[in-house]
Amino acid sequence: MAKEIMLLVVVAVGSISILLILLAYLIARKLLENNRRQQINDLKEKIAQDVFLFLQDRSYELSFSADSNIEKEALEELLTKYSDILEGDQERQSLRILAAANLTGYYRKNVNARKWSTRMNTLYHIESFQLVELKEELIKLAEQEKKRSKEEKIQIYRILASFQYTDIFMLINKQEYLAEKDYRSILTRLEAPIFEEMIARFDECVEELKLAILDVMGVKKDLEHITFLENVFQTYEGELRLRSLKAISNIGIVSNIDNYFPLCQSSVWQERMMAARLLGFAKQETALKLLKELLHDQSWFVRSQAAESIMKYKDGTKVLEEVLQHSKDAFARDMAWEWVNKGILKGAN
């Protein structure tokens, strides 16, 4: 019995000792973190005016250099703060120059750090500060298939896209882990020449990349893309056909509305809805007649879009009032009533 009690005492004392050591470690670590945080804050306060003056006037001679890691962290935090509020191209270029001069080597090391969070934060800062000096390093990282997480790869692709890397297509096409939203976030960073090359290689793209290209065209609203989008509409089926229609409607230009009349009889309600949207750009009697027919469609979405498009016509309100008074379709009357009242409220405002 005495031995058992003694053993329990030893175990208890050992457990308490371990807990005390752990507590002491956590306290020491917290003190070190607090001390480091205070040093960074003091440095930021010390160099803030110098940094601000340099960003305003590049000829201003800086009185500091970020040599230690703490100094680099302080500068990084200041530049991050300024990058969120600076709007002028000159100031942003000055920020990029200052970051390149002081942080390029630091980031080159950190993109290979052990901690995933350190690597990711470094990638975000590289893009924010537009450190094109690290472009070749990022290309090498993108080619290391097994050594980078999905999140890192996607962020690297985004950065290379913002750097206008000419071979970005070869990196991103046929990557199984890239979803449409990932492709869109990459494509929106591309300037016209490289984006046009993507379009030229449309047939080589995986489905998700094709869909993203069409969506980005709709966002960019470049009139030069209309012919390409119309070709996709006439050539492809399914979701690609729908996305091309959506992009055309977002651009708001229809070269020949007659090409879209057959969509009014489509068995796919989304296509009938897109037809209703496109007919709103036509402003012609044939299109208006088709819109009145679509106002009686079985789909609420088609009816709503048809009514909205009718309201774009000069006598749109009058047309809907006639439907409201004479149509035998209760759903069409309800939709006409809704949009007539929307028009009245809009006019009142």
This model's pTM is above 0.85? no
CATH number, position 190: 1.25.10
Is residue 99, in this structure, part of any structural domain at all? yes
Element (H, E) at 187: helix 180-187
Span 214-243, average pLDDT = 95
Same domain as 204, residue 237: yes
- Choosing from 127, 147, 163, the residue where a domain stops is 163
Same domain as 203, residue 101: no
CATH number, position 341: 1.25.10.10
Beta strand segments in 40-138, E: none
Contact 311, 317 (CB under 8 A): yes
Is residue 347 predicted with pLDDT exceeding 80?
no
Same domain as 138, residue 185: no
Same domain as 159, residue 144: yes
Is residue 9, in this structure, part of any structural domain at all? no
Separation between Cα atoms, residue 23 and residue 5, nearest integer Å: 27
Is residue 288, in this structure, part of any structural domain at all? yes
Same domain as 259, residue 249: no
DSSP 311: T
Same domain as 304, residue 339: yes
Top pLDDT among 283 and 243 is at 243
Element (H, E) at 20: helix 2-56
Is residue 13, in this structure, part of any structural domain at all? no
Is residue 299, in this structure, part of any structural domain at all? yes
Is residue 344 predicted with pLDDT exceeding 60?
no
Is residue 2, in this structure, part of any structural domain at all? no
Same domain as 325, residue 241: no
Same domain as 174, residue 128: no
Contact 212, 175 (CB under 8 A): no
The CA–CA distances, whole Å, from 122 to 49, 118, 220 equal 25, 6, 30
pLDDT tens for 270-283 read 999 999 999 999 88
Is residue 291 predicted with pLDDT exceeding 60?
yes
Separation between Cα atoms, residue 70 and residue 73, nearest integer Å: 5
Same domain as 342, residue 262: yes
Is residue 90, in this structure, part of any structural domain at all? yes
279, 275, 225, 224: which is closest to 247 by C-alpha?
Answer: 225
pLDDT on residue 346: 59
pLDDT on residue 348: 39
- Per-residue pLDDT band for 212 (boundaries 50, 70, 90) equals very high
- Per-residue pLDDT band for 349 (boundaries 50, 70, 90) equals very low
- Per-residue pLDDT band for 49 (boundaries 50, 70, 90) equals confident
Same domain as 220, residue 158: no
- Choosing from 253, 287, 303, the residue where a domain stops is 253
Same domain as 71, residue 159: yes
Total domains present in the chain = 3
- Choosing from 230, 253, 276, the residue where a domain stops is 253
Averaged pLDDT of the chain = 89
The range of the structural domain enclosing residue 244 comes to 169-253
Is residue 23, in this structure, part of any structural domain at all? no
Same domain as 155, residue 54: yes
